Chains A and B, each alone.
Chain A
Amino acid sequence: MPPLYELENIRQVYARRVVLEIDQMVVYPGEIIGLSGPNGSGKSTLLRILAMLESPVRGRIFFSGRPANPNDLQSRRQITLLSQSPYLLKRSVLGNVSYGLKLRGITGKKEKARAALSMVGLDPQEFAGRMWYELSGGEAQRVALAARLAIRPGALLLDEPTAYLDEYSAERIRSAALYAVEKWNTALVLVSHDHAWLGSVCQRILQMHRGRLQAS
């Protein structure tokens, strides 16, 4: 199976300080990879680079065999990132979840958005019409994940998505992410301090320290 991501000699620098230095990394479709390490070890930077939200100062990245380029909309639309405190658009829950579908001109937005809401354990009947300011932290996080699942991503990058959530919401996030892997062969890259979660679902856990991958 050809790799989804291939990274070679990646270096990222912030304010003249090297924050990420990766010689090689490969991610396959349907693979679940955990990133673990202390704060400031470069995990979030790596996810942002994988999400094409920033470009490294050096190195090459290939996505589905093509050189990664933030201007390559076709590739970028297969990747999505969820952070620990995501932003919701100032519109209804349905508007938020169907936003990515609308950008892609996909038909049947409402039905697909409702299905995505169900995947994260939110009753579409109850939540679809709610506004962004009518949600608790856990509900907002699940709406944000539903918005990403609705677009059926090839790569789902989760940056400590359960950090501030109660156990119920955290479990819904975990199970929805795994559902994407099983259903659409989505590659899942997880950053989390929840070692039990990483240990139970990941095929590989990459330890990071001072911007470098320590071990597989």
Chain B
Amino acid sequence: MDYIAEGLVQALNLLLQGDPETFSAIWVTLRVSTASILASLILGIPPGFLLGHYSFAGKRAVRVIVDTLLSLPTVVIGLLVYTLVSRQGPLGEFGLLFTLPAICIGQTILGLPIVIALTASAVETLDQRLPALLSTLGADRKQMLLTTVWESRFSLLAAAVTAYGRIVSEVGISMMVGGNIKWYTRTITTAIALETNKGRFAFGIALGLVLLLIAFLINLVLNVLKKRTQV
């Protein structure tokens, strides 16, 4: 048990003293995961809105596919992106393998089904009286669309926070297509996996604490948003 306590003390020291290696992994994680969630939101909210708002032939089949993709393993996404960006792959000429953009592509694929599915659910569960209200107060089509999006803002934020939680804590994609290169593509999760294998528990615990803090903040925000959407 002593080595755990010692690891914890050392971890706090690393964080408090601003250890460059620790903060490099934190900074890389925040940069790449923020870019990924933004891409997921930009690409995911419009189709999610359409899926939730309109009825069309094959809608149920699309929902089943999107819901299935929610449980897509990160190593499978890693494999897919690896085949795309490796030298022989269709995107090989861009030299993306073992770069942050490659991780970003993978994490966007990870976040996309979450954003689409939760956006569709948010729009589907909007109050049935909303369209009548907008019509009776004189909204045109564009105004109805924009107000509907605005009315589902808390649910959309909750979708973003949920997707961010999944993205920031994944390890498979970052490891496979990022390569875990120190100072460059090493994220919190890949650093924990590597350094724990090397016996550097304090380093792993320090990064684990940061990840826990991020998870705590994400859940805190989700909790507030859930309350707001229920009133």
Contacts and interface: CB of A to CB of B under 8 A. Distances in A.
Interface of A: 51-53, 70, 73, 76-77, 79-81, 83, 85-87, 89-90, 99-100, 103-104, 132-133, 147-148, 151
B133 interface: yes
A8 B99 CA distance: 70
Given A86-B129, A87-B127, A90-B151, A104 B136 contact: no
Interface string B121-149: 00000010110110111111001000100
Per DSSP, are chain B's interface residues mostly helix, strand or loop, or mixed? helix
B132 A81 contact: yes
B231 interface: yes
Given A77-B138, A90-B154, A103 B132 contact: no
A53 B147 contact: no
B133 A86 contact: yes
B231 to A, nearest CB: 4
6 contacts: A51-B136, A52-B135, A76-B135, A89-B133, A103-B140, A148-B136
Interface string B144-163: 00010011011000000000
Contacts of B139: 103
Report, nearest first, the 10 A-B pairs whose CB atoms are least far apart.
A87-B129, A77-B138, A133-B231, A100-B137, A81-B136, A87-B133, A80-B136, A103-B138, A87-B127, A103-B139
Contacts of B143: 103
A16 B20 CA distance: 73
A81 B134 CA distance: 11
A73 B137 contact: no
A143 B127 CA distance: 18
Given A87-B127, A89-B147, A90-B151, A104 B133 contact: no
A86 B138 CA distance: 15
B130 A87 contact: yes
Contact of B137 (A70, A90, A132, A151): A151
A79 to B, nearest CB: 7
B34 to A, nearest CB: 27
A85 to B, nearest CB: 8
The interface centre, meaning the residue of B127, B129, B130, B135 with most chain A CB atoms within 10 A of its CB, is B135
A73 B132 contact: no
Interface string B46-90: 000000000000000000000000000000000000000000000
A148 B129 contact: no
Contacts of A100: 137-138
A150 B135 CA distance: 15
Nearest to B130: A87
B148 to A, nearest CB: 11
B135 A53 contact: yes
